[in-house]
Amino acid sequence: MRYSERDALIPEVPVPSADPVLEATHSRATGGAPAAWTAPLATGPLSARLTLPGSKSLTNRELVLAALADGPSTLRRPLHSRDSALMIEGLRNLGVGIEEIPGDGEFGPDLRVTPGELHGSSIDGGLAGTVMRFLPIVAALALGPTSVDGDPYARKRPMATTIEALRGLGIEVSDDGRGTMPFTLHGTGEVAGGELAIDASASSQFVSGLLLAAPRFRNGLTLRHTGERLPSLPHIRMTIECLAARGVRVEEPEPGVWVVAPQPIRALDVQIEPDLSNAGPFLAAALLAGGTVTVGGWPTETTQVGDELLRILPRLGATVTRDGERVTIDGGVGVRGGAPVRAVDLDLAIGGELAPPIATLLAFADGTSRITGIGHLRGHETDRLAALATEIGRLGGEVVEFDDGLEIRPRPLHGGAWEAYADHRMATAGALAGLVVPEVTVDDIGCTAKTLPEFPELWDRLLDRDPHATRWESLPL
């Protein structure tokens, strides 16, 4: 049975929001039928420079911290996408003031966040893991019941750890024993905190959600991970550094244990870094089609997992150069005449969200490759391992799934329909495949609005090399 057929068995979840980004993506995520998008084909080596919108992971963490801070905060150059819009909507519903103010970024206004008295309400998580796993912990600090729901597939995403964590903190939760959304939590206006043990093997977001709110718990929090493998450790490091910037110290007495004392969260004026994971398909394009792609504003130091691209892509045959905050990927010359993509064995446990573009690249490699450490991707927006195997296979490739990864065996590829499963990273992976394979159609390119609403425009300009583009510029050949 296909994913779309399974999702169709679940009733639609209403989204009570007038936000245009939410409205534009909700019908797709709940079973609507968007028009198929034909991926543009590269006709020569690429030569482009780009600026990326703000990081989703940083934007949503900073929104939560600003909501719990001791005064108003300003987020400069934040991401404006479905995930960030859902976070803003949820925080506003809980009593937080968030307004748009003029800024100097290319992708939308800055945000002014004013903490308010928290009260129970409703949270629509959409397909946003940060929303569905961060905001219930914030809602535990509110007075009154809060209902939590999301898109149909979100009801299949792992949530039992959040629900059991809330109960472990003394919060009553009604979920009819499902351990998934929808559920209702009954906030009492404060959380005692103390010691808590959770199994965060399915997602590091369970840890981050608790750490973000822990300074507001009456007794702070001593959090212990009881599972075997903890995925996406850089995201936990990101959370800890965001807290540190606001004056909150997180102690780590041993691996898998975090201690946060009760303390104020300082208001802050913070600039959001560009989203480096969203750079993945664009940088991979230089390797696949040949030519050069440069990303501006790349931070010299960062906790974003997308920074791993600078170490991964050279293993696949790219040349990476850096000039201050500019990173350039050179893939050689010719659409198909440059050096082939090199086969590799990769452990992507710390950067699983990079797997879709990397797996797609490896479908064009000079031998068999393996990606390991990504079993947790089965619980993301879709089962990404099954989805990648299915969609690359649909184009004539061969991908074998195993418990925590994929084996990619290159075969001659042909055009065909690529299903996105309402998953932004699957949609961009389809665009990447279609860069050098004619007539690849992606069924739902609009789902990229989850983290990058501008993706279709930016992808077209990557290929057009339009010197008048506002966010893309030509580089001299």
Q: What is the pLDDT of residues 312-330, one digit of tens each?
A: 999 999 999 988 888 888 7
Domain boundary among 247, 271, 295: 271
Question: What is the arrangement of strands in the sheet containing 122-124, beginning at the earlier edge strand?
Answer: 122-124, 143-149, 183-188, 172-174
Angle (nearest 5°) at CA 418 between 374 and 439: 135
CA-to-CA dists, residue 186 to 95, 110, 141, angstroms: 16, 33, 10
Is 100 within any annotated ligand binding site? Answer: no
**Does the residue 194 lie in any domain?**
yes
Pairing verdict, β 73-76 and 110-114: antiparallel
Indicate whether 244 and 377 sit together in one domain. no
Active-site residue, selected from the candidate residues 62, 89, 273, 353: 353
Domain boundary among 271, 302, 330: 271
Give me the number of domains the chain comprises: 2
pLDDT number for residue 3? 23
Using DSSP, state whether 214 is helix, strand or coil.
helix
Indicate whether 236 and 160 sit together in one domain. yes
Using DSSP, state whether 156 is helix, strand or coil.
helix
How far apart (Å, rounded) are the C-alpha atoms in residues 316 and 331?
10
Q: Which of 103, 451, 473, 60 is nearest to 296 (CA)?
A: 473
Is 61 within any annotated ligand binding site? Answer: yes
Is 394 within any annotated ligand binding site? Answer: no
pLDDT number for residue 228? 84
How far apart (Å, rounded) are the C-alpha atoms in residues 294 and 297?
10
Indicate whether 196 and 303 sit together in one domain. no
Indicate whether 207 and 300 sit together in one domain. no
Phi-psi region of 29 (alpha: psi -120 to 50; beta: other; left: phi over 0): alpha
Indicate whether 409 and 428 sit together in one domain. yes
Indicate whether 40 and 72 sit together in one domain. no
Indicate whether 84 and 149 sit together in one domain. yes
Which CATH number fits the domain that encloses residue 260?
A: 3.65.10.10
**Does the residue 265 lie in any domain?**
yes
Which strand (E) or helix (H) includes residue 212? helix 205-213
- Residue 386's domain comprises 34-52+275-474
Indicate whether 248 and 312 sit together in one domain. no
**Does the residue 77 lie in any domain?**
yes
Q: Which residue has the tokens 């629509």?
A: 124
Q: Which of 113, 117, 137, 112 is nearest to 125 (CA)?
A: 137
The first and second tokens of residue 211, run together, are 């750490």
Indicate whether 236 and 372 sit together in one domain. no
**Does the residue 6 lie in any domain?**
no
Indicate whether 307 and 167 sit together in one domain. no
Indicate whether 265 and 129 sit together in one domain. yes
Adjacent-strand bridge partners of 472 = 50
Cα of first residue to Cα of last residue in the chain, in angstroms, is 48
pLDDT per residue as tens digits for the range 77-115? 999 999 999 999 999 999 999 999 999 989 999 999 999
How far apart (Å, rounded) are the C-alpha atoms in residues 399 and 358?
13
The first and second tokens of residue 423, run together, are 């998953």
Indicate whether 363 and 287 sit together in one domain. yes
Domain boundary among 253, 271, 289: 271
Is 353 within any annotated ligand binding site? Answer: yes
Is 156 within any annotated ligand binding site? Answer: no
pLDDT number for residue 470? 32
ω into residue 182 within 30 of 0, thus cis? yes
Q: Give me the residues of the chain with pLDDT under 70, please.
A: 1-34, 331-339, 465-477
**Helix ranges restricted to H, 403-454:** 424-433
How far apart (Å, rounded) are the C-alpha atoms in residues 348 and 257?
23
**Does the residue 13 lie in any domain?**
no
Is 450 within any annotated ligand binding site? Answer: yes
**Nearest 10 degrees: Cα torsion 356, 362, 363, 366:** 180
CA-to-CA dists, residue 328 to 54, 304, 408, 470, angstroms: 19, 18, 27, 19
**Does the residue 384 lie in any domain?**
yes
Is 205 within any annotated ligand binding site? Answer: yes
pLDDT number for residue 339? 64
Using DSSP, state whether 51 is helix, strand or coil.
coil
**Does the residue 21 lie in any domain?**
no
**Does the residue 8 lie in any domain?**
no
Q: Is 5 designated active site? A: no
Is 203 within any annotated ligand binding site? Answer: yes
Is 119 within any annotated ligand binding site? Answer: no
